[in-house]
Amino acid sequence: MIPFRIRITAALLIAALVPLAAFGFLLTLSGRADPDGSILRLLLAAFVIAALLGVAIAFVVAGSLTAPLRALTTALDRIASGDTSVPLPVQADDELGRLAERQHQLAGDLLRRNRQVARVVDAVGTYSPREGADRLVDLAIADARAAFGLIDARIVLGDPSDIPAEERVPGDPLPVRADLRAGAEPLGALVGHAPATARWDRADQDLLELFAAVVGVGLRNAELFARVADQNERLRELDAAKDDFLRGVSHNLQTPLARIRAYSDQLAAETPDRRLGIIAEQSDRLSRMVRQLLTVSRLDSGVLHPVPEVFAPAGLVRRAWEALGATGVPFSLDDRSGGWLALADPDQVDQVIWGLLDNAVKYGGGTPITVSVELAPGDGGTLRLRVADAGPGIAEIDRARLFERYARGSLPSAEGTGLGLYVSRELARANGGELALEQPQAVPGDPRAGGATASAGSAQPAGATFILTLPAESPTEG
């Protein structure tokens, strides 16, 4: 494209030279003699002078015309970079003056909309569903008035089609409106009035509709949050009621179970009967289940607080084994504690040890049970109890969820509430210790795996080993 300055110069040269050329051509056609060529020389001189003057005038005129355009270009570059503070230096009642006036107007609109967008973004960033729908409505009304300069504003919830549209009356405040939606679901409308002298363009309406869309999503989130909070509160109430029920049932069952066991022992002493032994065994089983339920409820409610004492864990193991009464199962205890004492609640630790021994008898299949007590390697403040059986072990699918609440093994012999190991681990942790299942050591072709043996020489787990760790205290301390 030919530059503007060159086009102005060419136009002025043509305007200056064409009349002279036409005049010379007419003289030539008139046939007048010019024996000495003076007229031709005058025409050439005039032609050259006209050309020079045309070029000079063209540069002056082009400069005067392009200077305002250059100033306009500079101002537009500043606007593009975000600087709207410097106005155009063009003051004229012509096309350039009107262009400068329009630039001022665009710069003002851009500055105003930048402020609107900044206020909207700041306002939206403060909305939280935790504050509730009513609080969000109040905030949105205040932010709409501040961001868009509205005289008044309100949010009407309901079907937007049922909210009548207000007609615009010249001289009266300008009615504005934007529908509130959460996706495709209509929620209501944001309505208000702008000053009668204020400008309200399509960009202002688009920004108001965007703000209304964000408010609509915020209202829906606030409603969902309130619903979830209400459901959580109901769940907490139901959980508390469940805990109260378990505590009540546990306490109410302990007394009759104790009486049943006492009467069965009395009758068995007077008249030995195998059925009385079954009654005593099942009453003990029910007592253990009730005790587990009571412990779970106390753990959940946070009222189970250990009372630490120093004691020898090997003594607890012997007493628990004797109380278990598994006379047909080989048992051995290896005490290598070196006189170190456990620092924990003995009643709670006794419940853990009793549960581990009972599991070993129940799932060990009559195989020998070994218990060792030793000081943890490299740690002078922890005792470790290992309870191991030589039974079929624990299936791999059960190991990951073994300590979960109500988890039961996949073996056909698995029974009970599924709370024993869960309660035992929680009691161990409450006393500053831990209960874990030791990784099995595979032995080739173990016949104890029964049907799980795939072929000769296959690797099978050798029983199950649980490790209970407890804080320890040297016998020389204190």
Q: What is the DSSP string of 452-468?
A: G--STT-EEE---EEEE
Which residue blocks in 31-148 are alpha helix, DSSP H?
38-80, 95-125, 133-148
Across the range 351-370, mean pLDDT stands at 90
Which CATH class for the 306-442+459-473 domain? alpha beta
| Mean pLDDT, residues 118-132 | 78
Asked if residue 412 has pLDDT above 60, the reply is no
Q: Which residues contact 396 (CB under 8 A, 6 or more apart)?
A: none
DSSP string, 165-199: PPPP-TTSPEEEEEEEEETTEEEEEEEEEE-TTS-
Model pLDDT, residue 35: 56
388 versus 96: the higher-pLDDT residue is 388
pLDDT averaged over the chain? Answer: 78
Residue 166 clears pLDDT 60, i.e. is over it: yes
pLDDT band at 14 (very low <50, low <70, confident <90, very high): confident
User: Would you list the domain boundaries of the chain?
Assistant: 4-97, 128-227, 306-442+459-473
Residue 4 structure tokens: 């503007």
Pairing mode, strands 331-336 and 369-375? parallel
Length of the chain: 478
What pLDDT sits at residue 149?
86
Q: Which residue has the tokens 């109410």?
A: 252
Which residue's entry shows tokens 């989130």? Answer: 221
Radius of gyration of the CA atoms of the chain, in A: 48
State residue 465's pLDDT score: 93
pTM, two decimal places: 0.48
Q: Is the dihedral of CA 179, 183, 185, 187 positive or negative?
A: negative
Among 57-66, 253-262, 323-332, the range with the most confident prediction by mean pLDDT is 323-332
H helix and E strand count, the chain: 10, 12
Please answer whether residues 352 and 436 qualify as being in contact, where contact means their C-beta atoms are separated by less than 8 angstroms: no
CA distances in angstroms from 116 to 107, 111, 169, listed in the order given: 14, 9, 25
pLDDT in tens, 72-112: 677 767 766 666 555 555 555 666 666 666 666 666 666 66
Calculate the alpha carbon distances from 288 to 26, 53, 211, 407 in Å. 133, 119, 62, 17
Q: Go through 355-365 and write b for each residue having 16 or more CB atoms within 10 A of its CB, e for each that does not.
A: bbbbbbbbbbe
